[in-house]
Amino acid sequence: MSDTLLAEKPAEKTAKPITVLEALNQALADAMAEDDTILVLGEDVADPEEGGVTGVTRGLSTRFGDKRVRSTPISEQAIIGAAIGASLAGYKPVAEIMLMNFTTVAMDMIVNHAAKLRYMSGGQTNVPIVIRTMTGAGFSTGGQHADFLEAWFAHTAGIKVVIPSNSADAYGLMRSAIDDPDPVLFVENMPNYWTPYPRFDPGHRVPIGKARVAAEGSDITIVSYARMMNEAQGAAARLAESGISVELIDLRTIAPWDQETVLASVAKTGRCLVVHEAVVPFGVGAEIAAVVSEKLFGKLKAPVGRVGAPFNPVPFSKPLEDAHIPNAARIADAALALVKGHSN
């Protein structure tokens, strides 16, 4: 990414594509320019430390000052604790936990404090913080750096979980997350950071809890999110060659997930396959499969299928890591089995 901060320029709608990383940078800059209660804090997020390990926050401290963009010590619990305290004092902090596996270090602050303060105060206060974190396999970073843990947080009442798959959604969901009065865990898929996508209208919002029908179809519904959307689109193209029409849904928000859109689609196609990068057992796919089966029992033409990673830590070995990550071929095979009446 260029060192030039996107938000230093007027937001323009041009034909030049924009990456997910650039869209996030622009969303943060636009929000901070409009509201001086928005703060950014985390390890190495200020410009003297390169604006974050991948540069998402690059340029922000130069533009808004080190009182609003603060690099912190390597202490995840302190980062979230400071963000919670600032939110109670009237600020809207955007706290970065560099890698999703490191949210475990701050689990007490996230789960027992940020998520519960509104409920436990009888609605007298809320915690309007955004917790940015990145994850995703593909860089041989091993099992401590690449897990998708979204189901852990979706299982906690009081916190919302969003995961964009493209630049427009990254921008729109970030703006909505900052606007939200409650804590939002914002998961960024690192392998998708540098993928260019079409530009979007400046200032737009993507509502939290609203899925996107990425492609309409009639034979099977594939529900996915994050970069698995790219693999699901590849699978849909393969299936189209066999005459199978796929309705593709980008969930965008994991908690609360858009039951209305998913159920309407599956009611139409009669089949559902859920695809995610996280391990299959006890994952987001399990929750969606349970709800779809309960609500549409008797209308389904096949059991709800799931495609995800095998139940093991993300391997360090590149060949093993490649085998660990779901891909278009695996997704297409699973969908084909459902359409032909053979569940996995």
Residues designated as active site? 76, 145
Q: Which helix (H) or strand (E) holds 314?
A: none
Exposed, middle or buried by CB within 10 Å (0-12, 13-18, 19+), for 234?
middle
Nearest by Cα to 303 from 277, 261, 340, 260: 340
- Contact indicator for 264, 211 with CB cutoff of 8 Å: no
The sign of the dihedral angle between the CA atoms of 280, 281, 282, 287 is positive
**How far is CA 306 from its chain centroid?**
19
Phi/psi at 56 (5° precision): -60, -35
- Residue 172: C-alpha distances to residues 85, 203, 208, 273 (Å): 26, 8, 9, 26
Please name the residues in contact with 56: beta carbons below 8 A apart, sequence gap of 6 or more: 21, 24, 25, 28, 96, 132, 188, 193
Distance CA 253, CA 262 (A): 12
Sheet of strand 272-279, all strands in order from the earlier edge strand to the far edge = 212-215, 246-250, 220-224, 272-279, 305-309
DSSP 8-state code for residue 40: E
